[in-house]
Structure 1
Amino acid sequence: MSVLNGKKVLLGISGGIAAYKTASLVRLFIKAGAHVQVIMTPASKDFVTPLTLSTLSKNPVHSSFYYEEDQNAQWNNHVELALWADLMVIAPATANTLSKMVSGTCDNLLLATYLSAKCTVYFAPAMDLDMYKHPSTLANFLSLETFGNVIIPAENGELASGLSGEGRMAEPENILIFLEKDIQSKLPLRGKKILITAGPTYEAIDPVRFIGNHSSGKMGYDIANEAANLGASVILVSGPTHCKITNSSIELISVTSAEEMYDACHAVFDSVDVAIAAAAVADYKPKTVATQKIKKSTDDFTIQLEKTKDILFSLGQIKKNQLLIGFALETENEIENAKLKIQKKNLDLIVLNSLQDEGAGFKKETNKVTFIDKNFFLEPMDLKPKEAVATDILNKVIAHFYE
């Protein structure tokens, strides 16, 4: 899956012959899973039509502050466009547009939006060889890079003038590759390997029945997907669930029982930097599993149970430099019980949620947690969607490594 998946890409097109390539570029962005909006300078419409780009991007194309032909037209708010974007790409970036970007000249919607952008701005120069090599152009490249903008280097090839050399806008495929590599290199969890457990475990009674719980697995899956989006290499050990991974780079290990989850976690624990135990593992399992379906033959029926292996405790006993994060779902004496679990299981952080809190717990889209670290510092959080809670948890991981 591309790191551009789900990203909001604002494509700015200035008036050069290379603008014809932007139709392919928009198509590649959409194929990568990005959301795309396009801003064109008036001159760029001589080379590619707004209709083409709006059809491919599935959004209206913006080229002026308002539409003169529409008496009821609303102002195209350049600030809203700039704040909407996760990244802005100006391609082609002509010598004229580059000069205006450096000087702060603001005479069209594209430049006004550029000046309001808070996200990373990439620019792909496109001009003839002599223009590309001119000292003023080279100075503009340097100036823009000091602003924090990122240049997508021009390529060598045949130019519109008939000459051949440097100055040709990077091909759409190469622009996409450049962006993916640059974004990937800046992800905060790049190079980190994270083990995450999710979902319930099912402990067999007989070939038909089992002991389980109501965990949907959503919290663990949200953590796994977000960790992968932040650049981590993720191993997700999951009990039975209907949840799906949205990042194809996640290694999914499907298990059923607590024993299987224990074995899977121990097989990889030595190789990971972080382990986040979000699974709701059964505390007990039947001591004996019937080989045939148990018939309903008596009014009373007793199942003798025995403890399952405590996965989190066992990982805490053998951890070296790993960051170990556990979950605690409590119904009473929540803080005290969570603190005891931190000590007993040698945790660095525990994510506490209580079934007493409305909107928290199993089969919910939201969660309300309290973070408690190994020094017993408490940080209560508001009720949030589980995706936002996953982000909060991973911010703790990032802080551990980089603060």
Structure 2
Amino acid sequence: IIMYQILIGFLKWAGFLTLSYFLYLVYALLVYPYMCWRKYKKYSNVYTTPTFIPILGDLKRINEDMKKGRVHYYEKMQKAPEMKGKDIRIKFEGYNPLILLQSNKAIEEFTKLVPSKVDRVNTGRGLGKVGLGTFLFEKSTKRTVMRRKILTSFLSLNSSSRHIPAMMRHTSDVLKPLKQGQSYDFIDIANVLTFNIFTSVLFGDDMVELANRVRPYQNPDGTTSMLPLRDIIINSFKSHFVQIFHPLTATCKPLADANIINPFKRDHENYQVFLEGMKELYKNCKDETSICMQILKNEQTTESEKMSDLNTFILAGAETSSHGIVSTLFLLKKHPETFAKLRKEIQDAGINKETVTNESLTREKIEELDYLSCVIKESLRIDGPGAESFFYSAKQNIKLC
């Protein structure tokens, strides 16, 4: 009788917990996103989808467009007239509602609230796992602001212009093997180029060969590939981004956060390979003019902080820069009249291979040239029209527009 009562009691609790868990999933995946969509749809200055799409959200339309051979932002292009004049856009990344700023008014009001009422936040999931400990996702404390200033002080256009000869040399080395009349995937070529340049600027020219040494990378099918650090970074970045949409991220967050089952375990181990590769670069860096050496000599930050910030720079910067460069080149090719004006402007200013090698191409000089300034800003995503940024979270209720 006692065992029977224990069994009945266990089944009751198990049933209660199962029902509670089911109700939680219904609320998290359906009810809460629907309530957000319904709430913001009422505002005349807010754009959101005409109909509520459960679970997948905006990803459903993106997948449909890509299956038809369209670019992933095709839907956004079609809805541009409807978005015009809106201050805010509500986007659903899967079941996650995101608030995006559309108008200058919204951005101006938002920036006034940072960091007193709104600040950066790290969810610790997806890309947040590779951003743990970096200043990119940390709250805006005095120490975090100091770390940002230290690294970004080395990345201004005037500071970076001294690396132009090395950039030209790496560009020549990458393009030299290409054959006339043969087709290439220029994204792959640009990935090699930007990674080599980033490695050279951060650690010195002599570290490029070490960075390109192959290391083990675990594939989803269970096999192991030997890849250079560049490809490990790209694959790791993508795999962590995809984690956001994995069912366990929504249905069992503690299990996903613990990195004890695949794909989370595999992604974590691959990321450790990246970290070990970066440590090799730190230990072997000898170039006194490199950003790495200048940061490592700075006594204001800890060893861990220095490594985390440098890791983030090469993790997030190299591949995104390659896409920015390819996109810019594509647009120039698509608009030859603009390309012709750019070349004439550069020629009239007396800028050529010899002058950029021997003279500093300063920000002041570039800003005098309209077309060149726009190309550099577009390529490097300076003042770019990017629709999304890092995650921010409100510390209290706020009102925009």
Q: Same fold (TM over 0.5)?
A: no
| Higher strand proportion | 1
Instruction: Give the TM-score normalised by structure 1.
Output: 0.19
| RCO higher in structure (CA 8 A, sep ≥6) | 2
Instruction: Give the TM-score normalised by structure 2.
Output: 0.19
Structure showing greater radius of gyration is 1
